[in-house]
């Protein structure tokens, strides 16, 4: 069979491959945001965390030669960003959304500042598992070249879904997210729980950033994220704060993001760039479709400032 | 499972409890004895020190002086944790259950020791065994948000028992329940105290509940114990005297004879509007309120009566239907309200009827600041006129405020409502829409507000009164409607009204 001649079949295949490749950062950021929002806070700063994580991972990988050390560095940087957000939001009169926006700009700016020397050198990639090796069609192989982080993300989604209802930590998180008063009556300190939840959320967003710079697209540039951290926040609302929903929604967004390049690759030369806007349009449509002027969202954590 | 339920009830006694916050004495030498397995009622107005007393017992406050005895032994209760270790628990007036968790999840997570990973199979088994011993039957696999108020209240009590508490403080436990639910819950709790497994201290302001269920009663006023004794030895009048002392209470105007052929001021036809959740709608087929009568709307909160009044007040859009005031279509605009003399007294006045940070004077003149004496719009607003107008009303309605330029949020609840009454009841009133006017107010404010509403009725206003307090409706209304599941399901003239029948219709089965 002619390896390049699979024709229009290339589009769904490229979308599938793209969904797997592009969705991974969405998965991590949205799972992290799901944890944070379930605790009753919203962290819009994950966009900045994502960019800084990408830079930190790339820089450490360049300097040490190990992508895994880069990944750990990104997670640690994300943890610090998250803890900072969680700490500052416990003060009276501090608005989590405003702090998030400040952190988004701060994280990106800091990443650009420290990242300048790393735009040129190349870092080792995170390993991928060639699940498509059974096929001799290059497109199939390319589509099914699955990064370990995708598999970890998928496992994490299932784990979180289970943990939200079957572990003490999961129940405590939901209690705090739904009612600060109830949490206090139980002797829990909501600020502490939210601090930890925001910290973990930040660490996961950092890992999402590491994937961007160390696997796909696989280099550090200043335009690396293009708003994925923000879209992930929208995605959590779309997924109704359910980790499995986050995973599915991330795949959907990833697939939408792959639409443009896929059409381009099969020779569509007119208007394909419109499809590059697909994820953004999807975000808008979802936000409009799932909102209502007269009621708050079903399943929303009661303490969340945007749904109160 | 750490919970035990067959532990014996404990008795609690306070001796010479005094609690000062700075110069303010919230509790002054209060000694109350609640023997084991008794049902004790604690009566008092808002601010009388009831919550301060129980918060001292529960370890939230540390009393300035005084001792607590549990089962006759002196104990130090430094924190709520100490209190629960002694078997003391509290059911709060507002629910402390987590709405998005199921009953079972709520029970398990509230335990002192929860395993890192919860084995739901065995937990469910143990809960089932535990629930066997409970007098309440409750669905534990449903999200708490979906439970009715009565079920939530039962679950709160069950939670305390599950946690092994054998002395319970119930803070106005029936304020959100229907009369039927209240009877049931208190009856079952009463039975448990009789059986010897539980001691109860109930904060209340409903005399009939105290008489029906409690063994003993203690009454607080302004931080002092003003009386206590066996319930059987005291009548309502004696209890009221202990509660409010000798301050004058405004008496209701005697009810002017209703005229059956009086003009129908408010007419609602085939009204449909979405409710709070957006999932259901409220439907009012036909409702008319005549001049000179009070029409009461009863219902358990959440059955659409709040939404109905919000539509009338212009706070909520309607889908279809018409609202007519004296034959004119009414869409709750400022101009229409002014032309047709429609006035509103809404619940939580600070939230619904005031701009909290604006001054008392400004809030009182909301209806009149932009018109002159002849009802013509003015271009320049006169601060002097606003002050003069509101000074007169503050005087007339006895609003207690530090000054006319204090923000209205700094006033007590009763005085905020008085200020709103002053604004709404001044001038001609043809239609008065009232919703839970006395919620959370103290005795004398309540009496005064009810008297003002009755006065407006006698002066010829048509009054639509929605209240969750059935006693209030029975006291004021000429006719009572019951609203259930978004519709008016029952109507009775006051002469034939029975709490029993109304309660059944409120609960939705008849």
Q: B199-214 pLDDT, tens per residue?
A: 999 998 778 889 999 9
Residue B106 backbone phi and psi in degrees, to 5: -60, -45
B21 touches chain A (CB under 8 A): no
Residues of chain A with C-beta less than 8 angstroms from the C-beta of B105:
165, 171, 174
Q: Average pLDDT of B322-346?
A: 91
Residues of chain B with C-beta less than 8 angstroms from the C-beta of A179:
96, 98-99
Shortest distance between the Cα of B98 and any Cα of chain A, in A, equals 6
Residue B85 backbone phi and psi in degrees, to 5: -65, -30
Q: For A252-292, how does the pLDDT look when each residue is reduced to its tens digit (9 = 90+)?
A: 888 888 887 777 777 777 777 788 788 778 878 877 877 76
Q: Average pLDDT of B10-15?
A: 92
B138: nearest Cα among B111, B112, B156, B160: B156
Q: How confident is the model at residue B5 (pLDDT cuts 50, 70, 90)?
A: very low
Q: Average pLDDT of A21-46?
A: 94
Can you tell me whether residue B438 is helix, strand or coil? coil
The answer to whether B118 contacts A172, with C-beta atoms less than 8 Å apart, is no
Determine how many CB atoms are found less than 10 A away from the CB of residue A42. Answer: 26
- Give the span between the Cα atoms of B99 and B144, in whole angstroms: 5
| Percent of chain A at pLDDT exceeding 90 | 51
**What's residue A193's pLDDT?**
95
Q: Contact at 8 Å (CB) between A126 and A211?
A: yes
Pairing of strands B294-298, B462-466: parallel
Chain B's closest residue to A292, CA to CA, is: B278
Q: Average pLDDT of B34-56?
A: 88
B80 touches chain A (CB under 8 A): yes
- Give the span between the Cα atoms of B478 and B464, in whole angstroms: 10
Q: How confident is the model at residue A297 (pLDDT cuts 50, 70, 90)?
A: low
Q: Could you check whether the bond before residue A217 is cis, i.e. omega within 30 degrees of 0?
A: yes
B296: nearest Cα among B451, B479, B437: B479
A295 touches chain B (CB under 8 A): yes
Shortest distance between the Cα of A162 and any Cα of chain B, in A, equals 10
B 231-290 residues with CB < 8 A to A? 274, 276-279
Residues of chain A with C-beta less than 8 angstroms from the C-beta of B109:
168, 171-172, 175, 186
The answer to whether A294 contacts B278, with C-beta atoms less than 8 Å apart, is yes
What residues are paired with B273 via a beta bridge? B282
Q: Average pLDDT of B2-14?
A: 68
Q: How confident is the model at residue B272 (pLDDT cuts 50, 70, 90)?
A: very high
The answer to whether B117 contacts A174, with C-beta atoms less than 8 Å apart, is no
- Chosen for mutation from B98, B110, B273 (greatest number of chain A CBs closer than 10 Å) is B98
Q: How confident is the model at residue A3 (pLDDT cuts 50, 70, 90)?
A: very low
A167 touches chain B (CB under 8 A): yes
Q: What is the DSSP letter of B354?
A: -
A291 touches chain B (CB under 8 A): no
Chain B's closest residue to A163, CA to CA, is: B117
Nearest to B105 among A171, A187, A301 (CB): A171
A41: region left, alpha or beta (phi > 0 left; psi from -120 to 50 alpha): beta
Question: Would you say residue A293 has pLDDT above 90?
Answer: no
Q: If 0-12 CB within 10 Å is exposed, 13-18 middle and 19+ buried, where does residue B186 land? A: buried
B78 touches chain A (CB under 8 A): no
- Of B318-322, B467-471, B483-487, the one with minimum mean pLDDT is B467-471
Global pTM value = 0.75
**What's residue A204's pLDDT?**
96
Nearest to A186 among B110, B115, B276 (CB): B110
The answer to whether A178 contacts B99, with C-beta atoms less than 8 Å apart, is yes
The answer to whether B115 contacts A169, with C-beta atoms less than 8 Å apart, is no
Which H or E run includes B17? strand B12-21
Q: How confident is the model at residue A295 (pLDDT cuts 50, 70, 90)?
A: low
The answer to whether A168 contacts B115, with C-beta atoms less than 8 Å apart, is yes
Nearest to B96 among A174, A182, A295 (CB): A182
- Give the span between the Cα atoms of A16 and A255, in whole angstroms: 6
Q: How confident is the model at residue A242 (pLDDT cuts 50, 70, 90)?
A: very high
Question: Would you say residue B321 has pLDDT above 80?
Answer: yes
Q: Average pLDDT of B248-265?
A: 78
Global ipTM: 0.83
Residues of chain A with C-beta less than 8 angstroms from the C-beta of B98:
174-175, 178-179, 182
Write the DSSP assignment of chain A as a string of letters.
--TT--GGGHHHHHHHHHHHHHHHHHHHHHHHHHHHHHTT---TTHHHHHHHHHHHHHHHHHHHS-HHHHHHHHHHHHHHHHHHHHHHTTSTT--HHHHHHHHHHHHHHHHHHHHGGGSSS--PPPPEEETTTT---HHHHHHTEEEHHHHHHHHHHHHHHHHHHHBHHHHHHHHHHH-HHHHHHTT--HHHHHHHHHHHHHHHHHHHHHHHHHTSS-S--TTSSTTHHHHHHHHHHHTTT-HHHHHHHHHHHHHHHHHHHHHHHTT--SSHHHHHTHHHHHHHHHHHHT--SSSPPTT--TT-TTT-
Q: For B160-179, how does the pLDDT look when each residue is reduced to its tens digit (9 = 90+)?
A: 989 888 899 998 888 777 77
What residues are paired with B324 via a beta bridge? B267, B329
Q: Average pLDDT of B79-87?
A: 87
What residues are paired with B40 via a beta bridge? B201, B216
Can you tell me whether residue B256 is helix, strand or coil? coil
Average confidence score pLDDT of chain B: 87
A169 touches chain B (CB under 8 A): yes
A90: nearest Cα among A194, A197, A202: A194
Nearest to A174 among B100, B274, B279 (CB): B100
More confident site: A283 or A93: A93
Shortest distance between the Cα of A235 and any Cα of chain B, in A, equals 21
- Give the span between the Cα atoms of B355 and B417, in whole angstroms: 13
**What's residue A308's pLDDT?**
54
B81 touches chain A (CB under 8 A): yes
Q: Average pLDDT of A76-105?
A: 94
**What's residue B257's pLDDT?**
79
Q: How confident is the model at residue A1 (pLDDT cuts 50, 70, 90)?
A: very low
- Chosen for mutation from B79, B109, B152 (greatest number of chain A CBs closer than 10 Å) is B109
**What's residue B40's pLDDT?**
95
- Separation in Å, CA A189 to CA A86, A185, A194, B78: 13, 9, 9, 18
- Give the span between the Cα atoms of B223 and B20, in whole angstroms: 10
Task: Kindly give, in sequence order, each residue whose CB lies less than 8 Å from that of residue B313, ignoring residues fewer than 6 positions away.
Answer: B332, B344, B346, B433
Chain A's closest residue to B96, CA to CA, is: A182
B99 touches chain A (CB under 8 A): yes
Q: For chain A, which domains are there?
A: 7-295 (1.10.3470)
Q: How confident is the model at residue B363 (pLDDT cuts 50, 70, 90)?
A: very high
First to last CA, chain A: 59
Per-residue H/E/C for B260-306: CCCCEEEEEEEEEEECCCCCCEEEEEEEEEECCCEEEEECCCCCCHH
Average confidence score pLDDT of chain A: 87
Residues of chain B with C-beta less than 8 angstroms from the C-beta of A40:
none
More confident site: B60 or B3: B60
Nearest to B98 among A166, A174, A299 (CB): A174
B17: nearest Cα among B74, B72, B56, B60: B56
- Give the span between the Cα atoms of A66 and A69, in whole angstroms: 5
A28: nearest Cα among A7, A49, A59: A49
Question: Would you say residue B46 has pLDDT above 80?
Answer: no
Which H or E run includes B202? strand B199-204
Q: What is the DSSP letter of B117?
A: B
Question: Would you say residue B180 has pLDDT above 70?
Answer: yes
| Percent of chain B at pLDDT exceeding 90 | 39
Q: Average pLDDT of A281-306?
A: 73
Residues of chain B with C-beta less than 8 angstroms from the C-beta of A174:
98, 100-101, 105
Q: Average pLDDT of A156-175?
A: 94
The answer to whether A167 contacts B278, with C-beta atoms less than 8 Å apart, is no
Chain A's closest residue to B123, CA to CA, is: A166
**What's residue B249's pLDDT?**
66
Question: Would you say residue B447 has pLDDT above 80?
Answer: yes
**What's residue A227's pLDDT?**
86
More confident site: A33 or A286: A33
- Of A268-272, B195-199, B468-472, B480-484, the one with minimum mean pLDDT is A268-272
**What's residue A60's pLDDT?**
95
Residues of chain B with C-beta less than 8 angstroms from the C-beta of A299:
100
Task: Kindly give, in sequence order, each residue whose CB lies less than 8 Å from that of residue A219, ignoring residues fewer than 6 positions away.
Answer: A58, A122, A123, A213
Q: How confident is the model at residue B379 (pLDDT cuts 50, 70, 90)?
A: confident
More confident site: B509 or A2: B509
Nearest to B117 among A167, A292, A301 (CB): A167
Question: Would you say residue B313 has pLDDT above 50?
Answer: yes
* Interface contacts A/B by beta carbons within 8 Å: 57
Residues of chain A with C-beta less than 8 angstroms from the C-beta of B100:
174, 178, 299, 301-302
Can you tell me whether residue B26 is helix, strand or coil? strand
Q: If 0-12 CB within 10 Å is exposed, 13-18 middle and 19+ buried, where does residue B412 land? A: middle
The answer to whether A168 contacts B100, with C-beta atoms less than 8 Å apart, is no
Nearest to B116 among A168, A294, A299 (CB): A168
- Give the span between the Cα atoms of B357 and B410, in whole angstroms: 9
Q: For chain B, which domains are there?
A: 12-244 (3.40.50.300), 263-341+428-509 (3.40.50.300), 349-427 (no CATH)
The answer to whether B118 contacts A168, with C-beta atoms less than 8 Å apart, is yes
């Amino acid at each position: 069979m002619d390896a390049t001649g699979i024709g229009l079949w290339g589009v769904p295949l490229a979308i599938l491959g793209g969904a797997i490749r592009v969705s991974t950062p969405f998965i991590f950021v949205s799972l992290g945001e799901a944890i944070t929002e379930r605790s009753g806070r919203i962290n819009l700063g994950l966009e900045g965390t994502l960019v800084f994580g990408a830079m930190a991972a790339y820089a450490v990988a360049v300097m040490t030669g190990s992508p895994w050390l880069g990944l750990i560095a990104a997670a640690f940087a994300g943890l610090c960003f998250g803890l900072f957000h969680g700490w500052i939001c416990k003060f009276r009169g501090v608005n989590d959304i405003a702090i998030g926006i400040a952190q988004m700009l701060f994280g990106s700016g800091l990443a650009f500042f420290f990242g300048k020397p790393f735009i040129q050198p190349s870092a080792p990639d995170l390993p991928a598992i060639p699940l498509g090796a059974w096929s001799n069609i290059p497109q199939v192989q390319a589509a099914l070249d699955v990064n370990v982080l995708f598999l970890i993300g998928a496992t994490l989604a299932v784990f979180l879904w289970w943990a939200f209802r079957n572990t003490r930590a999961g129940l405590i998180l939901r209690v705090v997210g739904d009612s600060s008063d109830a949490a206090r009556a139980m002797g829990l300190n909501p600020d502490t729980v939210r601090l930890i939840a925001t910290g973990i959320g930040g660490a996961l967003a950092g890992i999402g950033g590491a994937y961007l710079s160390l696997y796909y697209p696989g280099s550090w540039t200043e335009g690396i994220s293009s708003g994925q951290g923000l879209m992930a926040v929208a995605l959590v609302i779309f997924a109704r704060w359910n980790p499995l929903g986050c995973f599915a929604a991330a795949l959907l967004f990833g697939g939408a993001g792959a639409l443009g390049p896929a059409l381009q690759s099969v020779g569509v030369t007119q208007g394909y760039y419109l499809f590059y806007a697909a994820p953004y349009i999807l975000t808008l449509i979802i936000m409009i479709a799932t909102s209502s002027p007269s009621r708050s969202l079903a399943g929303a954590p009661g303490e969340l400032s945007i749904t109160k | 499972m750490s919970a035990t339920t067959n532990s014996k009830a404990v008795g609690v006694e306070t001796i010479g409890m005094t609690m000062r916050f700075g110069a303010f004495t919230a509790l002054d030498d209060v000694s109350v004895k609640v023997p084991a397995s008794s049902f004790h009622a604690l009566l008092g107005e808002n601010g009388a020190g009831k919550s301060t007393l129980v918060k001292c017992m529960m370890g939230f406050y540390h009393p300035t002086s005084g001792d607590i005895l549990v089962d006759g032994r002196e104990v130090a209760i430094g924190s709520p944790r100490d209190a629960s270790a002694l078997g003391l628990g509290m059911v709060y007036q507002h629910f402390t259950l987590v709405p998005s968790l199921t009953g079972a999840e709520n029970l398990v997570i509230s335990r002192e020791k929860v395993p890192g990973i919860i084995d739901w199979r065995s937990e469910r088994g143990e809960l089932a065994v535990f629930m066997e011993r409970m007098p309440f039957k409750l669905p534990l696999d449903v999200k708490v948000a979906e439970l009715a108020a009565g079920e939530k209240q039962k679950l709160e009590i069950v939670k305390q028992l599950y946690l092994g508490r054998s002395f319970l403080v119930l803070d106005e436990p029936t304020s959100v329940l229907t009369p039927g639910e209240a009877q049931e819950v208190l009856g079952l709790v009463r039975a448990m105290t009789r059986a010897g497994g539980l001691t109860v201290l109930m904060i209340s302001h409903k005399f009939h509940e105290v008489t029906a269920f409690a063994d003993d009663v203690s009454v607080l006023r302004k931080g002092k114990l003003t009386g206590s004794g066996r319930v059987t030895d005291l009548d309502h009048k004696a209890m009221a005297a202990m509660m409010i002392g000798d301050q004058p209470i405004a008496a209701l105007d005697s009810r002017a004879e209703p005229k059956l052929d009086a003009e129908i001021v408010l007419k609602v036809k085939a009204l449909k509007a979405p409710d709070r959740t957006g999932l259901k709608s409220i439907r009012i087929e036909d409702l008319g309120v005549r001049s000179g009568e009070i029409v009461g709307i009863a219902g358990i909160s959440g059955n659409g009566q709040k939404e109905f009044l919000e539509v009338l007040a212009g706070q909520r859009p309607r889908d279809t239907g018409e609202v007519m005031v004296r034959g004119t279509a009414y869409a709750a605009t400022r101009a229409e309200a002014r032309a047709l003399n429609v006035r509103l007294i809404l619940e939580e006045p600070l939230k619904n009827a005031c701009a909290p940070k604006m001054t008392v004077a400004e809030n009182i003149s909301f209806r009149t600041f932009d018109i002159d004496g002849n009802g013509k719009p003015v271009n320049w607003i006169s601060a002097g006129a606003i002050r003069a107008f509101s000074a007169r009303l503050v005087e007339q309605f006895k609003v207690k405020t530090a000054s006319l330029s204090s923000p209205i949020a700094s006033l007590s609840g009763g005085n905020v409502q008085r200020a709103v009454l002053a604004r709404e009841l001044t001038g001609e009133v043809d239609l008065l829409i009232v919703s839970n006017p006395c919620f959370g107010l103290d005795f004398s404010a309540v009496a005064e507000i009810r008297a003002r509403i009755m006065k407006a009725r006698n002066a010829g206003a048509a009054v639509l009164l929605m209240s969750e307090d059935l006693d209030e409706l029975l006291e004021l209304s000429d006719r009572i409607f019951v609203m259930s599941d978004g519709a008016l399901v029952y109507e009775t003239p006051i002469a034939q009204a029975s709490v029993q029948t109304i309660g059944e219709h409120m609960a939705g089965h008849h």
